[in-house]
Amino acid sequence: MPGWLTLPALCCFLLLWAFTVFHKAQGDPASHPGPHYLLPPIHEVIHSHRGATATLPCVLGTSPPSYKVRWSKVEPGELRETLILVTNGLQARGYGPLGGRARMRRGHRLDASLVIAGVRLEDEGRYRCELINGIEDESVALTLSLEGVVFPYQPSRGRYQFNYYEAKQACEEQDGRLATYSQLYQAWTEGLDWCNAGWLLEGSVRYPVLTARAPCGGRGRPGIRSYGPRDLMRDRYDAFCFTSVLAGQVFFVPGRLTLSEAHAACRRRGAVVAKVGHLYAAWKFSGLDQCDGGWLADGSVRFPITTPRPRCGGLPDPGVRSFGFPRPQQAAYGTYCYAEN
C-alpha cells in the first residue's frame, strides 16, 4: 500500500534505531560530538622494578577551559579505587601513602603524567588517569608491571596452614607480597611447576603445573589449576609470593652453624640473616649460585642454583632448593646474609 513501509525497510529502520540506542548506552564516542581531551597511551603497560622511578603517561591533546586530573589506583580483588593525586594543572595534592611518593611530571602544559619515586612491590597494579571538566569526564587506564620472581611458601608447620590474611602476612615477612594471577602465569611460562595450591592476591587459590601427573590434578593439559572460590578466613593453603630487585646484596657465610650462630655471624658482618624473598631475588637477578645449604631468617635451610649439576640437588632445572626446617640447634649449615647497599 502506498505510504506504508515495506517489511524489509521496517526491519532495516528498527536495526538502525537499536544500533544507535545501544551505542549511546555504551558511551560510544561517536554519539558524543566534541573534543575528547585525553590522548590514548602509546603503551598501556609500564614496566619497572622495585626501587626505580616509574612514569605513567597521561597527556591531553588540548586543554579544556577548566579541569582537574584525578589519579587513582584500582585495588585488586576489591571494588574500590585508592586516590593518589589531584591536580588542576597548576597545583597538585597527594593523598594516602602513595601520594607522598607521587608527583606530576609536567613536561609541558598538557602533560598530566604521574611519576612514582622509589617503586615498591605494592605499587604494581592498574592505575586510572581521569579528566574531570564538569561536562564529559573521561579517563585512561594503565598498568604498572614490576620485574620480579614468584616463589611458593609454606611455614615450618607444613603445608596448607594459611588462610588468606595469614598468607598475605607471611609473604610480607619474607620480603614479598602475595603474587597476582598474571605474575603466577608468567612464572609458569618461565618454568614454575608446583603441586601445592597457594593463595593469590586476588583471593583465588591456584597452582602451576608444567608436567601433568596424577598427584597434581590428573594427567590433563599443563596450566594454572584453580580451586575455585574459597573462604578467605576458613580455608587454608600455602602462599605464592612475589618479590623484585633488591636494594642490597646477599652473600654466603660458610660454617657449621646453629640458627642463633647464623644470626651472630651476619651481625658481625654488618648484615642480617637473609629472608626467603632475598634469596630468590639474588638467585633471579644477581645469578647467585651456591651449592651449600644456608640458614634463612624463617628457620629454613635453602641454597640457590643457577647452573644445575649432579651434586647440587640433582634436579635438572635452575632454582632455589630447600632442606626444609631443621632443628634450630642443629650445627650443620652456613648462612645467607643480606646487607643494604
Range with lowest mean pLDDT among 30-44, 174-188, 206-220, 296-310: 30-44
- Return the CA Rg of the chain: 26
pLDDT band at 79 (very low <50, low <70, confident <90, very high): low
245-340 and 148-244 share a CATH fold: yes
For residue range 111-162, what is the model confidence (pLDDT) as tens digits? 999 999 999 999 999 999 999 987 678 999 999 999 999 999 999 999 999 9
Task: Say what the pLDDT of residue 135 is.
Answer: 67
For residues 93 and 110, what is the distance between their CA atoms, to the nearest angstrom?
A: 18
Task: Say what the pLDDT of residue 219 is.
Answer: 75
| Beta-sheet pairing, 125-132 with 138-146 | antiparallel
Whose CA is closest to 132, among 83, 95, 98, 96?
A: 83
- How do the domains of the chain map onto residue ranges? 38-146, 148-244, 245-340
pLDDT band at 90 (very low <50, low <70, confident <90, very high): confident
The more confident residue out of 25 and 119 is 119
**The CATH number, out of the four listed (3.10.100.10, 3.30.470.20, 3.90.950.20, 3.20.10.10), of the domain defined by the range 245-340:** 3.10.100.10
Is the CB of residue 22 less than 8 Å from the CB of residue 31? Answer: no
Whose CA is closest to 160, among 201, 187, 199?
A: 199
For residue range 272-327, what is the model confidence (pLDDT) as tens digits? 999 999 999 999 999 999 999 999 999 999 999 999 998 888 888 999 999 999 99
Q: Report CA 260 to chain centroid distance, whole Å.
A: 33
Q: Which parts of the chain fold into alpha helices (H)?
A: 7-25, 96-99, 164-173, 181-189, 259-268, 276-286
For residue range 160-169, what is the model confidence (pLDDT) as tens digits? 999 999 999 9
Fold for the domain defined by 38-146 = Immunoglobulin-like (2.60.40)
Q: Is the whole-model pTM more than 0.75?
A: yes
**Class (C level, CATH) for 148-244:** alpha beta
Dihedral through CA 248, CA 286, CA 174, CA 233, nearest 10?
140
For residues 124 and 202, what is the distance between their CA atoms, to the nearest angstrom?
A: 13
